[in-house]
Structure 1
């Protein structure tokens, strides 16, 4: 049982590193061209759609299911306010980390949920692990680009992504052994993350995923959200 949890959560996490490696290969081995930028911005839009699907189909529903109105409001607003303050600080420092923060804010709570669900519904947990892994690929791809633009070296960025990939295992073990007995606490974490993710989507990620005079790239968000819908339907 524990080995299976480690394998599934490890798969969900390793796609963070894989997404970074793919972004590195794409940036350095694909020639500069309009098509290259169409692909980049379509993937950014696709990632925004997947993040939005995680918020709408996984994180918020869990909060609505477990929390009463007042804790729900406080958790959601707290997440938005905290990440407004953090984003403001990072903008002053000149960084572009919104996509990375949003990725972590759905990756970590979902990994915790994976661990909590695993003991009760292994088949559901398996599908959730696949869903999380598929989410992380485009999000990590876009996050790599943001960090490199912010001034991080290729090596440093990939090292960061390598260690971040283990957050899936840490989150799943925490959910399985610690938070599975406290569904309200897990729900608060998810709703807090939802508030922060929604702020980041509206303020940074969606505006930056639009390519001037190109409307078709925005369809990536529709496909990304559809992937989330399919994953939720299968789960």
Structure 2
């Protein structure tokens, strides 16, 4: 029970960065290039964590087949959920409103709920792997917690800025990100609990599934905000985030 609560605490810690980003995004109107830069940095951090802490670990434990099956399944599940939510107004949920505007409730009824569910769809895989990593020996969890925490700040910042621009209230914005932080706590605890009942191959597949979902999320929601109408240093900033996460995972 103590270890399960510890996993939940790590998940809450990582998820709390969404609230930090939301406060910054709601309280301060950052220039477009600043938001693009921090989003690119966060994308690089997550890509590195997925590559070296999830895919590589899953391959080491169970080989290529669970990795391929799990990653493709994760990408498919995320894409399916994202398509459904995009049709209901959540397509631009990571957008700050500088280039592409999130829809207001008057423009598309139900878009507020879709945005909240989209944030949940983005956050659950990240949190779940924290619990999985902790149960799998602890080495993976430290780097993953750090990567998720770092990447969650620009996610919360950009998305909350877009919500504010679309006319959503402070209570709605902070309520959404507070709920996602709570869901991250539960997801991390569930990830920890899964390890004790699944075989090594299945567990590797679950790790790869989460990785596939995260990579798809980065490509669908983070990279477009970072790279659309942005400056030429974005690529170098993304690499910087990648290297920071790599250093954390090999320290």
**Unaligned stretches of 5+ in structure 2?**
96-118
**Distance in 2 of aligned mates of 1:213 and 1:124:** 33
What is the alpha-carbon distance in structure 1 between the residues aligned to residue 167 and residue 213 of structure 2? 24
Whether 1:153 aligns to 2:169 is yes
| Greater helix proportion | 1
Quick check: 1:18 aligned with 2:20?
yes
Per the alignment, residue 226 of structure 1 pairs with 243
SS of aligned partner of 2:83:
helix
Quick check: 1:198 aligned with 2:228? no
- Cα distance between partner residues in 2 of 1:196 and 1:125: 18
Q: Take 1:198 and 1:157, find their aligned partners in 2: how far apart are those partners?
A: 25
Give the C-alpha shift of residue 116 in structure 1. Answer: 0.9
CA distance in 1, matches of 2:7, 2:79: 34
Shift of 1:156: 1.1
SS in 1 for 2:227: coil
Give, in whole Å, the separation in 2 of the partners of 1:4 and 1:72. 27
CA deviation digits over 1:92-147, x for unaligned, max 9?
Answer: 22322368467515522322224414xx44x7645554443333223322333455
Match of 2:123 in 1: 104
Alpha carbons of 1:53 and 1:153: their partners in 2 closer, same or farther (altered >3 Å)?
farther
Structure 2 length as normaliser, TM-score? Answer: 0.73
Q: 1:116 aligns with which of 135, 141, 145?
A: 135
Q: Number of aligned residue pairs: give it.
A: 224
Q: Name the Cα RMSD after superposition.
A: 3.0
**TM-score relative to the length of structure 1:** 0.77
- State how far apart, in whole Å, the 1-side matches of 2:216 and 2:169 are: 28
Q: Distance in 1 between matches of 2:6 and 2:89?
A: 42
- 1:102 and 1:51 mapped to 2: Cα distance? 16
- The corresponding residue for 1:48 is 43
Name which of 172, 179, 196 aligns with 2:195: 179
Cα 1:178–1:204 shift into 2, 3 Å: closer
User: Which residue does 1:142 correspond to in 2?
Assistant: 158
Kindly state the Cα deviation for residue 60 of structure 1 after the two structures are TM-superposed.
1.0
* Helix, strand or coil at the partner of 1:94: helix
